[in-house]
Amino acid sequence: MNILITGGAGYIGSHACLEFLNAGHQITVVDNLSNSKFESLKRVERITGKQIQFYETDILERVKLNEIFSKNKFDAVIHFAGLKAVGESTKKPLEYFQNNVCGTINLCEIMKKHDVKNIIFSSSATVYGDPESVPIAEAFPLSATNPYGRSKLMIEEILRDLYRSDEKWNVVLLRYFNPVGAHKSGKIGENPNGIPNNLMPYISQVAIGKRKNLQIFGDDYPTKDGTGVRDYIHVVDLAVGHLKALRKIKDNSGLKIYNLGTGNGYSVLEMVKAFEKASHRKIDYKIIARRSGDIAECFADVSLANKELNWKAKRNIDEMCADAWRWQSKNLNGY
Ligand code: NAD
Ligand code: UFG
């Protein structure tokens, strides 16, 4: 199929590009490089020996986006482009709504105009807010605690309404849990700007000596060891989940929503131990106060994706840490 991948130069997008190319699809990436480097795509081309058509374009630029759709006949769009830093979103809510929500509306308008009605959207477990229980199933109540999460919820609603208005659309909302790890080659991986917000890239930077120690946000949660529990999923498993979602779309599946996680919860301290084992480096840490907005425990019920997509995450926590370490230790300063 001929696929447009928005945000394809980013962390998850670049891994998805690799899997889509290896599966024989033709791909075009639209990315404004606001949080990524073109180098990631060059490396994907080198690993796969295949080519990517690239446009350095913002999805808010209607005229350019329209031109891209006029020049290409896409079968489907995988929509990763978006801003994703929770803390930043509380300081710059308008930028987040403009970029994520208006960007998606723009994209869908142009898709509609060109009669491209298949879209897979990167949603997030953040749409479950603070869940009443775990594991979290797709039918759980939705809420948002910050502008980033609200932008994801709004986009989900917009895409639902779009489908209700015209059932020729096929929409798959994929709710990712916590993506970590990197491609086995060690050539592509997560490349955060500045101080990482997320646990895994922070631990990796402590391991290479770029940061002194990890600050653990609270050890008084009602969890196995008091630290926060999350469902970490290998980014390659996540990328493969998109391939399966695309297969689903081919059967005119309508509107579908799936959790993509492993179904297992690991604490911050368990992640530190697993990373020490993978890297043979000591990760110094200190416990500090809870981070505002964090929840105690979050992991997925993945039975729906297992059943309907025939998808299951295969890579365990040791592989996630080993692959993250390979990427980080071979690329001390990222791309
Ligand atoms: P990323 O920042 O690495 O990738 C996003 C890409 O989109 C970047 O390359 C960026 O340059 C591009 N982009 C942003 N705004 C754009 C715009 N207006 N026009 C064109 N390109 C634009 O992030 P990621 O971790 O790869 O996340 C991909 C998607 O998955 C995002 O939508 C994110 O919200 C979602 N998601 C990520 C996580 C996570 O923990 N990484 C969890 C749940 C959901
Ligand atoms: N943590 C620390 N120290 C750090 C960073 C994180 O102790 O320096 C802890 C957090 O308190 C939490 C766990 O590690 O218990 C994971 O935190 P992350 O920031 O890596 O991930 P979150 O679960 O907070 O959020 C991530 C993304 C969100 C997304 C969510 C679900 O940042 O955008 O996963 O997909 F919505």
Active site residues: 148
pLDDT at 160: 98
Nearest CA to ligand 2 atom 14: 199
pLDDT at 316: 98
pLDDT at 4: 99
Of ligand 2's atoms, which has the minimum distance to the CA of residue 175? 35
Which pTM does this prediction carry?
0.98
2-182+232-261 has which fold?
A: Rossmann fold (3.40.50)
Predicted confidence (pLDDT) per residue in 94-138, tens digit: 999 999 999 999 999 999 999 999 999 999 999 999 999 999 999
Using 50 as the pLDDT threshold, list the residues of the chain that sit under it. Answer: none
Ligand 1 lined by 264 (C-beta under 6 Å): no
List residues near ligand 2 (CB under 6 A): 84, 86, 124-126, 176-178, 197-199, 202, 214-217, 228, 230, 268, 291, 294
pLDDT at 214: 98
pLDDT at 5: 99
pLDDT at 72: 98
Of ligand 2's atoms, which has the minimum distance to the CA of residue 221? 15
CB atoms within 10 A of CB 1: 16
For the chain, give every domain's residue range. Answer: 2-182+232-261
pLDDT at 13: 98
pLDDT at 244: 98
In the reported structure, the alpha carbon of residue 27 is separated from the centroid of ligand 2 by a whole-number distance in angstroms of 31
% residues pLDDT > 70 (the chain): 100
Q: Cα(18)–Cα(235) distance, rounded to whole angstroms?
A: 11
List, as own/partner pairs, every contact residues 198-206 make where C-beta atoms lie below 8 angstroms and the sequence separation is at least 24, other chains included: 199/230, 199/268, 199/271, 200/232, 200/271, 200/275, 200/320, 200/324, 201/324, 201/328, 203/271, 203/272, 203/275, 203/283, 204/275, 204/324, 204/325, 204/327, 204/328, 205/328, 206/283, 206/284, 206/285
